[in-house]
Structure 1
Amino acid sequence: MPHSDAPEPPAESRFRAEPVSFVRRSGRMTDGQERAWAEHAPFYVIEVERGEAVTSIRPGTPITPASVFGRSAPLIVEIGSGQGHAIVHAARTRPEADFLAVEVFVAGLARTMLDAERADVRNLRLVEGNAPEVLEHLLPEASVDELWIFFPDPWHKSKHTKRRLIAPPFPELAARVLRDGGMLRLATDWEDYARQMRQVLGDADDFAPAFDGEWAERFDGRIMTAFERKGRAKGREIRDLTYRRAPRA
């Protein structure tokens, strides 16, 4: 999820057994974003059944991607899509694939819809939802070809690192939705988080590194976003990691 300096998560997290990897902000949108939501959400936003929390997904309510997109095509999912710059660009340049943006901030989703509509992107859908619950409850098993997580909130204060998304429970959820041979692509500008990611995925039996050496090459399908520019401007090195989903037994 996008970086945040907010100190603590909201009350909705009390409904979950584990801390969430985001802080639920007010969700206020500009007038233009409100209009975009009203006009474009019926096409772009997948309506989901909720659990107790605003961004939760009710167990047992999976989607059928072929029905959602109206065709069978490779499915690429971005978790923490922010304002959608990366995924709108990818969807526009790869019309043969379908794309799903997962985000908790409605203003970011509204901006994504505006840019997608302006670019006449039709192979993109959006979900407002907590990423682990999307992976566990909304997406069918082995339905995803690539899973992208670029610049998730680093929760760099030691008292908050337990909220990082890429932690030991995550590989099992990612492995569930990825098809055999599917790709998990990660990027961060925080070195200690990059090393945590590498350790977590290195310990996961369902994944094998798809790179040689210490870090992967920069994924050429990832455009430069505000988060990457911000990290570079502060002198932080960008580190990519890429893993392949191992064949199921």
Structure 2
Amino acid sequence: MSEQQHPTDQPEQPQEEKFLRKIRSFVLREGRLTKGQQRSLDLFWPTMGLEHQATSYDFSQIFGRQAPLVLEIGFGMGKSLVQMAKEAPEKDFIGIEVHKPGVGACLGEAETHAVKNLRLFEHDAVEILEQSVADNTLDTVQLFFPDPWHKKRHHKRRIVQPEFVQLLRRKLKPGGVFHMATDWENYAEHMLEVMSAAEGYQNLSASNDYVPRPDHRPLTKFENRGVNLGHGVWDLMFKKVN
């Protein structure tokens, strides 16, 4: 879909489809690929990469087994995603990232650590979820340190919005968990407000707000530096209950 098309060029769409087609929670900054990233794309994308398609994937066929399925939105350079996949070989992981250098870096990292239970998309997460992922298939959705769009006039660009979390609820299995983390307190409050009002979710926090960082979410160098400087990090985990 070209974002340059005039609205009148499009046939009338259902309201949800209109939302899904227009939301963009990222700015595409392509960046320059290093030689190593390009080499990883050339060598490992054919076996680890997945293309956007208009029909749902059968992930048990992709991975060759039935296993809990974890999907991460916006994995950056992929270091923590690869670490999680390596430390949980009993699970299968899917990463979605729009920035090609990050995809190349993640592929190289996965190869270095001989990680086989990981597949990647280089595409918009909303379109992948809507078109390429079947309903009731995901055990966990992870969204770690998304762009906070901290200026008030940009808050509408934040990916955690009522329509988006209902899309995720469709894709999660019953009992599946949406796990978010941010180092922006205002965004944490926004996430909590949206999720607390969202139909079909239950907060896993004992205090009905935030949860301690679970052991399975790696502490990144960036996060560790922030914690040492006294910066806060907030984790939220909500379970699909119906």
Runs of 5+ unmatched residues, structure 2:
6-19
- Match for 1:139 among 133, 137, 141? 133
Distance 1:183 1:17, change over 3 A: closer
- Match for 1:166 among 136, 157, 160? 160
Aligned ranges 1:75-114 → 2 under 5 Å:
75-114=69-108
Q: Is the 8 A contact 2:73 2:125 kept in 1?
A: yes
Distance 1:230 1:180, change over 3 A: same
Partner of 2:13: none
Looking at structure 2, the residues matched to 78 and 26 of structure 1 have their Cα atoms a distance apart, in angstroms, of 20
Partner of 1:6: none
Partner of 1:45: 49
Instruction: Give the aligned length.
Output: 227
Partner of 1:206: 200
Aligned ranges 1:107-122 → 2 under 5 Å:
107-122=101-116
Amino acid at match of 1:148: Q
* SS of residue in 2 equivalent to 1:117: helix
Give 1:28 deviation, angstroms. 2.3
Give 1:27 deviation, angstroms. 4.1
Partner of 2:217: 222
Amino acid at match of 2:49: V
Looking at structure 1, the residues matched to 227 and 187 of structure 2 have their Cα atoms a distance apart, in angstroms, of 16
Question: Share of identical aligned residues, percent?
Answer: 37
Looking at structure 2, the residues matched to 74 and 13 of structure 1 have their Cα atoms a distance apart, in angstroms, of 35
Give 1:18 deviation, angstroms. 2.5
Give 1:232 deviation, angstroms. 3.2
Partner of 1:31: 35
CA deviations on 1:69-102 (whole Å, 9 max, x unpaired) are 1111110011111111121011111111100011
Distance 1:41 1:246, change over 3 A: same
Q: Is the 8 A contact 2:41 2:104 kept in 1?
A: yes
Distance 1:156 1:34, change over 3 A: same
Q: Mean Cα displacement is larger for which, 208-217 or 72-81?
A: 208-217
Q: Is the 8 A contact 2:71 2:141 kept in 1?
A: yes
Partner of 1:151: 145
CA deviations on 1:133-182 (whole Å, 9 max, x unpaired) are 12211111011001111111000011211110001211111101100001
Looking at structure 1, the residues matched to 182 and 222 of structure 2 have their Cα atoms a distance apart, in angstroms, of 9
Give 1:26 deviation, angstroms. 2.4
Q: Is the 8 A contact 1:80 1:152 kept in 2?
A: yes
- Match for 1:197 among 180, 191, 197? 191
Amino acid at match of 1:236: H
Give 1:227 deviation, angstroms. 4.1
Q: Mean Cα displacement is larger for which, 15-24 or 127-136?
A: 15-24
Partner of 2:231: 236
Runs of 5+ unmatched residues, structure 1:
1-10, 50-59
CA RMSD of aligned residues (A): 1.8
CA deviations on 1:108-149 (whole Å, 9 max, x unpaired) are 011111110011000000001111112211111011001111
Looking at structure 2, the residues matched to 240 and 186 of structure 1 have their Cα atoms a distance apart, in angstroms, of 6
Which TM-score applies when normalising by structure 1? 0.86
Looking at structure 2, the residues matched to 184 and 122 of structure 1 have their Cα atoms a distance apart, in angstroms, of 24
